[in-house]
Structure 1
Amino acid sequence: MKISNQWLGQWVDHGLAVDALGHRLTMAGLELDAITAVAPDFTGVVVAHVIAVEPHPDADKLRVCQVDDGSGEPVQVVCGAPNVHVGMRAPFARVGAVLPGDFKIKKAKLRGVPSFGMLCSARELGLSEAHEGLMSLPDAPAAGTDIRVLLGLDDQVLEVDLTPNRADCLSMAGVAREVATLTGRPLKVLEVPAVPAACEDMFPVRLEAAADCPRYAGRVIRGVNPAAPTPLWMQERLRRAGVRSLGPLVDVTNYVMLELGQPMHAFDLAVLDGAIVVRRARAGETLTLLDGQPLTLSGDDLVIADEGKLLALAGIMGGEASGVTDDTQDIFLESAHFVPMAVAGRARHHGLHTESSHRFERGVDPALPLRALERATQLLCQIAGGTPGPATVAEETSRVPVQAPITLRPARVSRLLGLTLPPERMGEILLALGCQVSGAGETWQVTVPSFRFDLAIEEDLVEEIARVHGYDNLPSQLPLVRPDITWLDEARVDPRRLRSRLCDLGYLEAITFSFVDEALEARFSPDTRPLKLANPLSSELAVMRTTLWPGLVKAARHNLNRQQTRVRLFETGLRFVPEGDALKQEKVISGLICGALLPAQWGQAERPVDFFDLKGDVESLLALAGLDRQVNWRAARHPALHPGQSAELTLNGESLLGWVGALNPALEAELDLEMPVFLFELSLDKVCQGHLPRFQEQSRFPAIRRDLALLVDAALPAAQVVAVIENAGHQTLKGVNLFDVYTGQGVPEGRKSLALGLILQDLSSTLTDEEVDTIIHDIVTGLQEEVGATLRA
């Protein structure tokens, strides 16, 4: 909302400098975005009266003009503007004037004819982009009047960013109410007398959708002059509010909207048929808007129609066929109340956003339509003439919103705000906000004004009192803290350590949406039916994710498409897995790598990452919790992973910990990924559970190492062989290390050779060869029985 300080001053004499006013508004919840001057600096520009115009002797497009600039003697000016004419009043920059951009006006000769100054367009003064001709001024000001004084250009505009609940401040009247309340100054209420009817002409209105439009006011005005010039003061106020002047019939409705907050519309009476009908659109109906955009409507759209055609998209924009034109003589002026839910979302659905929809979506005072209609009629008849008929109102009173009284306890206000505020002051604030207060003592009944849709419960009133009193005036008080020593699980690993480890490994943390595209989600988890959102922001955010992989893969593709060829990302977050009628929310940590293993360098040849690079990173995470020896890696199939490069991770051979693998090549091609991508996803709670380290006595006797070369089935995981050895129950076995895997010459087909180093050590004595041989014999026998292993010759 753009607020002219001069215009505001006509509503309330706030007595504040503009920056101080901006601070007060900000501290009251109306955040100030910017303060800008309404015009750039310039000097020496006055009103001039053109008293003679003659052709230039040597230039067809130039005119030699004589102007009265109030100095007492005519001044000769050479002008090229096509609209210059005798009797015109226009801005005139005298010799010595300085225009925007530090452009100084000097005496000059144009094609041999002396020129003493310059007649100016609006763009040359920095007031608008209009430069088709001179800026035309009204006839009233005397020649020589300073333009800055005439137009009030020593003004500043405050641009305020309003939250959606403060639609009551989307007008000068609303902002003035706020400023009067904040400063304690009287509000100069705009008196809007009823305009007496000068003719009996009326146009009937029928409400077929009274639940969406419970009140519709209108009036016939005959004999208007659409070519009448909009007064300069109105054009300036519109300009300062960011609205372009389009002629009196449109300018008046825009002005009243800015002044009072009520959007309005004018229909060309000549094209209306039978009656105005407020109804829901029928599926498939079409409407071409004022901006030429054709729409196909549905039953969700509220429209204004007559007996034969659609006239407007209610609360959003009028239709092209019924809009006023330069030939319009008679109009029907509309001022209606549309409930927010009837308009909310419909403009965005059609790709529109208008000043009207912006207000109706947030809520407009239902008591305002008739007052705004009278104000617009008054202004329109003053500017464009016309004969007004009687104002008519079609309404269904039972559906007009009514604010229910709110119970307020002054003691609760003081308790919530942490300050002692006299009840008298609370009452003053509420009355200044337009509320009616009844009751006394510990409980009040507060009836809020019809324009405050946002006030519904006691806490809303407490917030209003705090806002007006000033958030910066509330006391600062430290909360009373009673420390409570909580139990800390020493075995648990803080998730921040996991994130730090991945960052140390070169990963970057990503945050992706919890909502994903349904089709993409199905490619990663085809066996799971994700939860669908009732009202998704877009089709690409339609379901809740059951894995973090879709978001990470999209992020990787985004980077790869921008020539970031080495990507390492991780994310911690929730996945949402339906279980019957419930929704299970699981914390997981997921990661992705693709591209080169290391950044380009001279010390090592570049190579792409592979499965085992990712496996090493995952094992590094598991090692933080001491789980690296308790996690089993087993080759398994996952629909999103490469059939030959995916592993299922289980904890102690029981619960599923997660998955690691390469992205399925079919999915890789479908997503237009130019290189292999490797992924992991682990249960965060299980990775963090950890274990508590315990002291173990170190033996002072020497350790003995025995190496075994075993032949096993080629498909047998080495981890299973190690597990058999470790589970044999020998207390002297301190470690098993796999140091070689071999297939080829000397090894039978379908078999592989595993070279294992066994570390044996006793706490009480040095092991003898006989004791070691017995242990090795037991281990080999157990391997033969459980996994069919034999010693390699």
Structure 2
Amino acid sequence: MRVPVSWLREYVDLPAGLTARDLAAGLISVGLEVETVDEIGADIAGPIVLGRVREIEELTGFKKPVRYCRVDVGTANGSGEPQGIVCGARNFSEGALVVVALPGATLPGGFAISARTTYGRVSEGMICSATELGLWEDHTGIVVLPEDAGEPGADAYDLLGLREDVLDIAVTPDRGYALSIRGVAREAAAVYGVPFRDPADIEITGTPGGGYPATVADPAICSRYVLRGATGFDPDAESPLWMKRRLAHTGVRPISLAVDVTNYVLMELGQPLHAWDRDKLRGPIEVRLARSGEQLETLDHVKRTLDPDDILITDESGPINIAGIMGGLETEISLTSTNVIIEAAHFAETHIARAARRHQLSSESSRRFERGVDSELPLAAATRAVNLLAELGGAIVDNGYTHVDRSTPREPVAIDAALPARVSGVDYPAGTAVRRLREVGCAVTEAESGATLHVTPPSWRPDLTDPNDFAEEVIRLEGYSEIPSIPPVVPAGRGLTIGQRIRRAVGRGLAGAGFVEVLSYPFVGQAQFDGLRLAADDERRNAVRLANPLNDDEPLLRTTLLPGLLRTLVRNVGRGFSDAALFEIGLVYLPKAGAPERAPIPPVHRGPSPDERASVEAAIPDQPRRVAAVLAGERDPSGWWGKGRPATWADAIEAAREVGYSAGVELRARAAERAPWHPGRCAALYVVNNTDDSVSGTLVGYAGELHPRVISAYGLPARTVAMEVELDLIEGARAPAGAPEVSGLPAAAQDVALVVDNSVPAADVEEALRSGAGDLLESVRLFDVYTGEQVGEGRKSLAYNLRFRASDRTLTTEEATAARDAAVAAAASRTGATLRG
């Protein structure tokens, strides 16, 4: 919401000398998010005055019509003689009162005005358009002022409002009242303790009944509906300069007087209005929900199929408006309309919010309705609008008006008078809560003891429903800065938990291995699961559904980290980063069996009962923490030293092993098949049992090359590889931490080359070597794989380096050889391996 400070001052007596930036700081202190203070016109300088066009000479012989004008600018030019100015605009005639920038003036954008020769004449200034003055967008011609605007030579700065301070406020969803000058003025009055003059305090003239007939089908969709009419409106009447300027300051483009009036009242009071051409309406109006199959062509010339959840305004011809969103094309007010009907209503917030998203139509009206509009405002706003049509457009206001009131009064809420002090920790003086609540418009009744307040919230604050809401109002108006900062005392001897240390170690380990950490949104849709080629009965398709998703295409919480990582990889590759290694540490969300579809919402004024806590916990999904990584392009870069090495399935497995190493466990890989990985290039990852050096039954994840169809579905680079492991399981399998043993004795290394069938995994051979080598074995490392004629078809040679060490002595060659032979014998027995000759 853009708020001109001069407009704000009409309704609140701000302190003299208060700057716009001081005002912004004051509003920020009570919770309004003032993003910027725009100093409009700060770059305008020099003589800009009113001028009367005395003579117009049409210049010929040029490609476009050009005029040489003699303009009376009084004594502003120092001589009193008419000023000669060349102008190409055609929307004025002799005698017109215009705006003139004389030589020495500077217009918006740093455009300096000087006397210059053009079209064979000396032009001593410029006759200005609204666009050139930075007033509003208008390319139809120059600004022609009313006859009574002033005398030639008079300063134009104040008349046109060329300089203005405008606050740009980001209004949060709970403060819809701040989407109006009225609402912000009320906040400013509370900040500075000055009187507030309500622009909605309007005398309601006329007689209820006798207006244009209207009915409301259901009060749940529309609690109040007002129609006021005006006849004899002059469609040629122009909006006054002050109205156009204020609309432009708030970000609204002036269109025509009838439309400008509805927009002006919208910005002033916060009540959306709609204007119809009365002559285009057909019979009584009805407010109802849409029926299946109904359609409406809206003002943007789009024919829309309506949803049964849409609130419609209809007449005998059918739908004429999507309530609170956009009007229909057939009944729009035009530049020839003389009889006008103004509509003001209070529609159900949730219906408007859903309709705006469904039709992808976010308008100034829908933004206000979905946040909550003052339910008592429609009659005052409609009256204000027709009065402006009468004042500025010569209309005659109908005496009768339609007012359908199906609203119910708000009930008082009991609140402990000491609640604000108890919540904030500030000892407020007696009577503070009552004073502050009345400042925001609440009706407050004190109990005899004074300990309990009965507070009825005002109609413009639908967000005030709970005692804590009222406590917050008191606290914010007293100042958040008054709340003391008292950090909690940290018990001695505590630091990061084991889980936190492991997560940090994993992140540092992967970053050190060349990976870049990313954070993805946890929202997915079935399309992402389809892209991963998950089977219909895959447990990962069973996902928690959001009650109010940000995106209708992604209504689920993720059950795997891969979709977010893969989409991030696609964006990076699309921006030229073809060699990428990304990782993410995050939660996945796995629904519990028998959990309710929606989590219950316990009250906030007290702690939950055991039953409420149990019901909430039953609805919360399991949230294991996982680590995932993706690699594409070159793992080892190419350069002057030679060719690079592309990332392969082995790099994905190594990334998983790095996670295990950082967490203090060892992971082993075994061949497996699981979507979305390529069959034959997928490994299941298991935790090594630290007690007997064997692979235990704890499966922690998968790694390998993605299936080609997955790569095609996501648009990934060819041969993209990925891994995903469950960090919680790895943490649970971790042995108690201890100091590593460092031996001062030398190690004995033995190399062995074993020939096995191609179908035998290298991990099985390594595990057999470990089990047979005994306690002297320190490490096993595969350093070469060979296939070819020397080992025979269907066979491969695996070369391992075995490292032996004793803690109490230097090993002899015989001891190391014996341990190696035992390892080879175990490998031969378990995998059919033979020593390569």
TM-score (norm: length of structure 2): 0.85
The more displaced of 498-507 and 403-412 is 403-412
Aligned position for 1:211: 220
Relative to 1, partners in 2 of residues 1:714 and 1:402: Cα closer, same or farther, differing over 3 Å?
same
CA distance in 1, matches of 2:51, 2:594: 80
Report the Cα offset of residue 150 of structure 1.
Answer: 2.1
- Of the candidates 89, 92, 96, which is equivalent to residue 88 of structure 1? 96
Distance change (3 Å), C-alpha of 1:713 and 1:228: closer
Shift of 1:493: 5.9
Does structure 1 residue 533 correspond to structure 2 residue 545? yes
- Residue type at the aligned position of 1:637: E
Identify the match of residue 457 of structure 1 among 444, 462, 466: 466
Worse-matched range after superposition: 284-293 or 355-364: 284-293
- Deviation track 1:552-609 (CA, whole Å, cap 9, x = no partner) reads 2222222223332211111111233456435443211111122113223222432322
Aligned pair 1:318/2:327, yes or no?
yes
Matched, 1:639 2:639: no
- Show the 5 A alignment for 1:575-654: 575-578=588-591, 580-581=593-594, 583-628=621-666, 631-651=667-687, 652-654=695-697
What is the RMSD computed on CA atoms of the aligned residues? 3.5
In structure 2, give the amino acid aligned to 1:433.
Answer: V
SS in 2 for 1:42: coil
Distance 1:502 1:195, change over 3 A: same
Secondary structure of the 2:195 match is: coil
User: CA separation of 1:758/1:561 partners in 2, compared to 1, >3 Å: closer, same or farther?
Assistant: closer
Matched positions, count: 786
User: Could you tell me which residue of structure 2 aligns to residue 560 of structure 1?
Assistant: 573
What's 1:678 paired with?
Answer: 721
| Structure 2 CA distance for aligned equivalents of residues 123 and 792 of structure 1 | 87
Q: Which residue of 1 aligns with 2:402?
A: 393
| Structure 1 counterpart of 2:417, one-letter code | P
Return 41-50 or 652-661, whichever deviates more: 41-50
> 480-489 vs 657-666, which deviates more?
480-489
Residue 302 of structure 2 corresponds to residue 258 of structure 1: no
- Asked whether the equivalents of residues 282 and 317 of structure 2 are also in contact (C-alpha less than 8 Å), the reply is yes
The answer on whether the counterparts of 1:366 and 1:401 sit within 8 Å (CA) in structure 2 is no
- Amino acid of the structure 1 residue aligned with 2:36: A
Alignment of structure 1 residues 451-600 onto 2, 5 Å: 451-472=460-481, 474-481=482-489, 483=491, 485=493, 494-522=502-530, 523-526=532-535, 527-528=538-539, 529-531=541-543, 533-534=545-546, 535-538=548-551, 540-578=553-591, 580-581=593-594, 583-600=621-638
CA distance in 2 between partners of 1:78 and 1:699 (Å): 98
Gaps of at least 5 residues in structure 1 are none
Tell me how far apart the structure 2 counterparts of residues 69 and 176 of structure 1 sit (CA, whole Å).
Answer: 39
State the 1:376 CA deviation.
Answer: 1.4
Residue 193 of structure 1 and its aligned partner are, at CA, apart by 1.8
Unaligned runs of 5+ in 2: 596-620, 688-694
Amino acid at match of 1:533: R
- Aligned-pair distance for 1:517? 3.4
Map 1:87-236 to 2 at 5 A.
87-94=95-102, 97-100=105-108, 117-144=125-152, 145-190=154-199, 191-196=201-206, 202-236=211-245
The residue aligned with 1:439 is 446
Q: Deviation of residue 614 (structure 1)?
A: 3.5
Query: Share of identical aligned residues, percent?
Result: 35
What is the CA–CA distance in structure 1 between the aligned matches of 2:773 and 2:37, rounded to whole Å?
81
**Map of 2:416 onto structure 1:** 409
Q: Which moved more, 1:26-35 or 1:686-695?
A: 686-695
Residue aligning to 2:759: 715
Provide the C-alpha distance between the structure 1 equivalents of 2:822 and 2:109, rounded to a whole number of angstroms: 97
Q: Select 1:44's aligned residue among 39, 44, 47.
A: 47
Q: Is the 8 A contact 2:232 2:396 kept in 1?
A: yes
Structure 2 Cα separation of the partners of residues 756 and 56 of structure 1: 96
Could you tell me whether the CA contact under 8 Å between 1:42 and 1:99 is conserved in 2?
yes
Is the 8 Å Cα contact of residues 271 and 378 (structure 2) preserved in structure 1?
Answer: yes
CA distance in 2 between counterparts of 1:309 and 1:216 reads 18
Aligned to 1:656: 699
Change in 2 beyond 3 A, CA 1:660/1:137: same
Q: d(CA) in 2 for partners of 1:565 and 1:608?
A: 11
User: What residue number does 1:249 align with?
Assistant: 258
Report the 3-state secondary structure (helix = DSSP H, G, I; strand = E; otherwise coil) of the residue aligned with 2:132.
helix
Question: Could you tell me how far 1:365 is from its partner in structure 2?
Answer: 0.6
Of 18, 33, 37 in structure 2, the residue corresponding to residue 31 of structure 1 is: 33
Write the distance in 1 (CA, Å) between the matches of 2:533 and 2:296. Answer: 43
Q: What is the CA–CA distance in structure 2 between the aligned matches of 1:142 and 1:531, rounded to whole Å? A: 70
Task: Give the direction of change, closer, same or farther, for the CA distance of 1:415–1:711 in structure 2 (3 Å limit).
Answer: same
Structure 2 CA distance for aligned equivalents of residues 34 and 695 of structure 1: 58
Shift of 1:659: 1.2
Query: Hey, what's the Cα distance between the residues in 2 that align with 1:148 and 1:745?
Result: 94
Tell whether the 8 Å contact from 1:215 to 1:393 is kept in structure 2 after alignment: no
Residues 92-111 of structure 1 deviation map (CA, whole Å, 9 limit, x = unaligned): 34565554456565566766
After superposition, give the CA deviation of every residue in 1:328-368 in whole Å (9 maximum; x if it has no partner). Answer: 22122211111211211312322222111111111111101
For residues 99 and 754 of structure 1, the distance between their equivalents in structure 2, rounded to whole angstroms, comes to: 80
Shift of the alpha carbon at 1:291?
Answer: 2.9
Distance in structure 1 (CA, Å) of the matches to 2:103 and 2:498: 85
Displacement, 1:507?
A: 0.6
Q: Secondary structure at the match of 2:474?
A: helix
Counterpart secondary structure, 2:26? helix
SS in structure 1 opposite 2:696?
coil
How far has the Cα of 1:729 moved from its partner? 8.9
- Whether the aligned pair in 2 keeps the contact of 1:530 and 1:543 (CA below 8 Å) is no
What amino acid sits opposite 1:561 in the alignment? Answer: G
Residue 354 of structure 2 is aligned to residue 342 of structure 1 = no
Give distance in 1, aligned partners of 2:495 and 2:655.
31
Q: Which residue of 2 is the match for residue 69 of structure 1? A: 73
One-letter identity of the residue aligned with 2:21? D
State the AA in 2 paired with 1:716: V
1:425 corresponds in structure 2 to 432
Aligned-partner Cα distance in 2 for 1:53–1:756? 100
Most deviating of 660-669 and 36-45? 36-45
Deviations 1:725-781 (A, max 9, x none): 544595566666666666666757666666667677777889899999987887777
Question: Structure 2 CA distance, aligned partners of 1:705 and 1:236?
Answer: 87
Pick one of 283, 300, 308 that aligns with 1:299: 308
Q: CA separation in 2, counterparts of 1:703 and 1:22?
A: 72
* Amino acid of the structure 1 residue aligned with 2:632: C
Bigger Rg, which one: 1
SS for the counterpart of 1:158 is strand
Q: Report the secondary structure of 2:321's partner residue.
A: strand
Distance 2:128 2:137 in 1: 12
Q: Residue 153 of structure 1 aligns to a residue in which SS?
A: coil
Contact 2:387 2:397 in 1 (8 A): no
TM-score with structure 1 setting the length:
0.89
Shifted more, 520-529 versus 112-121: the winner is: 112-121
CA offset at residue 422 of structure 1?
0.8
Q: Does the 8 Å CA contact 2:136/2:244 hold for their aligned counterparts?
A: no
- Quote the Cα distance in structure 2 between the aligned partners of 1:106 and 1:627: 79
**Aligned counterparts of 1:63 and 1:686: Cα–Cα separation in 2:** 84
Judge conservation of contact 2:32–2:169 (CA < 8 Å) in 1: yes
